[in-house]
Amino acid sequence: MAKNYDVIVIGAGPGGVTCGALLAKWGLKTLLIDKNAQVGGKAMTVAKNGFRYEYWPIAACPSSNTEIHSLLRILGLENEIELIAPDPMGRMFYETPSGEIKNLVLPGGGKPVDPQDLFNMLGVTDADMPEVMRLFTDILGMSRHDQNLLDEVSVVQFLDRYQIPRSLYSMLATLQSEGTLEVAGPIACASEFIKVFQQNNTQGGGLYPSGGFGRLYGAIARVMQSYGGDLLMRTKVERIAVENGRVKGVITNKGSFQAPIVVSNAGIQPTVLKLVGEEHFDKSYVNYVRDLVPSLGFAGARYFLSKPVLDCFMYVYCSDNTVTSLEEHLRAETGEMPKQMYIFMSTNSLYPGMAPPGKQLVYTGITCPADPRTKIKHYLDKVEAEIARLWPDVFKYIEEKEYYGPAQISRLSRDSVVPGTGGECIGLGQIVGQCGNLKPSPKAPVGGLFYVGADAGSSGFGNHMCVESGMNLFNIVRDYWFTHRAQF
Ligand SMILES: Cc1cc2nc3c(=O)[nH]c(=O)nc-3n(C[C@H](O)[C@H](O)[C@H](O)COP(=O)(O)OP(=O)(O)OC[C@H]3O[C@@H](n4cnc5c(N)ncnc54)[C@H](O)[C@@H]3O)c2cc1C
């Protein structure tokens, strides 16, 4: 393996692997390094007892004409990886104030939910329609420019502008903030909420790569290698070497590598505060980075079942009370859980080749703090109590269970360098003041250092956002290399 490269990418998560493959294909000598044994970061696919499953993501959004489709075409992978938009996608469960639990099938294949079915389930009346229509017209017709005017407005503040029934308000705030952006509704950013809502409605909402997310990212890494890029797994970057304000390369537990450009998929806070070191940045930038807020973490279980229970890929639950307030989040940390909370359950076992015949893997969880030190027992107890109440059949067929929480998420993805961070689901929290025009720049104030993935360079939802960040960063780094190459 060479010691000198044009560019080193730290981290083979969705953002890092995408950017690395595009840079290698363009002709830059690229090294991609990851501490794990497999690529994919939080979206890694693993195998156990004949099951293949992701530790975490269940579906990408949007599902048709996405950047993931474009990337596969650019890399010549469109015939190798099938992108599945299952139909139906899932079921939405809604508990009425009187305790009745209704449900609605969520279509897939790029189709939106029929609004009339949704309104019937949520008890929206004719008298409610003028305000409901005003809301949907505003959201669906909003330009990117007008969305960015909402970068400092929360989802709750935005929805408060409309006199809509509590059921619809709660469904939107629950499923589109805590359920998608993985941040508390009262601080979730309205511009991101609207972008994801538009994508869901115009391009559909559930996408799964055949064979799993990990297979997708593995194929992308192989394309990087086919263009001469090197992939170094089970290797942890300990430092990014910086001299006179410019990156020089990286120091890992397996030796040092030189490059004039380093792209980090390790998260902005770990990159600045640990891998580079505060001493190489202005104090104001260090304070800015230290103050960034992560998304929420997640705690839950995987149940390996002897018999299928779910008839579609995803079940989501909400009620009029599932927009968890900041006070309820604080009380939950001490063990006092809200009576009703957003909860989801999903399976990838319905996709071909992902489970032994006649068996099913069910995965469930609820949001919790991103802090890897979080005591997750009461979150797990709440998940299990809700599963027993809402979908009791699951407990009849369990052969084996696994639990997880923010400590596992941090181990697989990013280090906790600021107290309270590390086990975040998405990455940077999509909260007011951190999205759209206010999202951190992907270019660091150290020559040749860039960030890729959830923390910078794109917007939207999870995997799709990170792939888009990788594609956007490719353009930025290519142009940087072209304009600065005489200095290297
Ligand atoms: C519970 C949960 C549910 C989710 N559900 C969904 C979903 O349904 N749909 C969806 O689209 N998204 C979902 N996501 C979010 C999605 O998986 C993440 O947003 C995405 O994986 C972030 O990608 P990334 O490019 O930022 O890198 P990450 O996935 O964070 O990967 C970072 C990589 O960098 C490597 N790395 C870090 N530091 C170092 C170092 N010092 N040296 C070497 N390597 C290093 C890590 O090993 C890792 O491989 C979910 C996440 C979680 C946790």
Q: What is the pLDDT of residue 204?
A: 86
Domain of 391?
294-411
Q: Give me the mean pLDDT over the 80-92 stretch.
A: 95
Is there a single domain that holds both residue 161 and residue 232?
Answer: no
Across the chain, what does the average pLDDT equal? 96
Q: Does ligand 1 come within 6 angstroms of the Cβ of 14?
A: yes
- Residue 299 and residue 394 share a domain: yes
> Residue 424 domain-assigned?
no
Q: Is the CB of 158 under 6 A from ligand 1?
A: no
Residue 2 has pLDDT above 90, yes or no: no
User: pLDDT confidence of 375, banded at 50, 70, 90?
Assistant: very high
User: Whats the size of the chain, residue-wise?
Assistant: 488
Instruction: Give CA–CA dist 339/1, Å, rounded.
Output: 56
- Inside any domain, residue 89: no
pLDDT exceeding 70 applies to what percent of the chain?
100
- The reply to whether 285 and 303 lie within a common domain is no
Across 56-77, average pLDDT: 95
**Residues 183 and 247 placed together within one structural domain of the fold:** no
**pLDDT tens, 312-322?**
999 999 999 99
CATH number for position 349: 3.30.70
Up-side HSE of residue 282: CA atoms within 13 Å toward CB? 5
Q: What's the 462 CA to ligand 1 centre distance in angstroms?
A: 8
Starting at the edge strand found earlier in the chain, the sheet holding 314-319 runs: 101-106, 90-95, 314-319, 343-346, 360-368, 297-305, 398-404
Report yes or no: 272 and 278 within 8 Å, Cβ to Cβ. Answer: yes
Cβ of 298 below 6 Å from ligand 1:
yes
Clarify whether residues 407 and 384 are in a common domain.
yes
* Same-domain pairing of 50 and 191: no
Q: Specify the pLDDT at position 309.
A: 96
pLDDT at 112 over 90: no
pLDDT above 90 (res 415):
yes
Last residue of a domain, one of 148, 177, 203: 203
Q: Are residues 380 and 447 located together in one domain of the fold?
A: no
Domain end residue (candidates: 203, 220, 246): 203
1 pLDDT tier (thresholds 50, 70, 90): confident
**Within a domain: 468:** yes
Q: Does the structure show a pLDDT above 90 at 208?
A: yes
Judged against a pLDDT cut of 80, whether residue 218 lies above it is answered with yes
Predicted confidence (pLDDT) at residue 111 exceeds the cutoff of 90 = no
Euclidean distance between CA atoms 192 and 155, whole angstroms: 9
Would the CB of 66 count as within 6 Å of ligand 1?
no
Ligand 1 pocket check for 363: Cβ under 6 Å: no
* Token pair of 460 as six digits: 């939207």
Q: How many CB atoms lie within 10 A of CB 230?
A: 18
Residue of minimum CA distance from atom 21 in ligand 1:
42
Task: Give the pLDDT confidence score for residue 175 in this predicted structure.
Answer: 86
Could you tell me if 282 and 138 lie in one domain?
no
Residue 2 is assigned to a structural domain of this protein: no
Q: How far is the CA of 44 from the centre of ligand 1 (A)?
A: 8
Residue 4: CB atoms within 10 A of its CB come to 11
The per-residue pLDDT for range 254-272, each reduced to its tens digit, is 999 999 999 999 999 999 9
Domain count, the chain: 3
Q: How confident is the model at residue 167 (pLDDT cuts 50, 70, 90)?
A: very high
Question: Per the domain annotation, does 21 fall within a domain?
Answer: yes
What distance lies between CA 365 and its chain's CA centroid?
A: 15
Ligand 1 atom nearest to 409, measured from its CA: 53
Query: What percent of the chain has a predicted confidence (pLDDT) above 90?
Result: 94
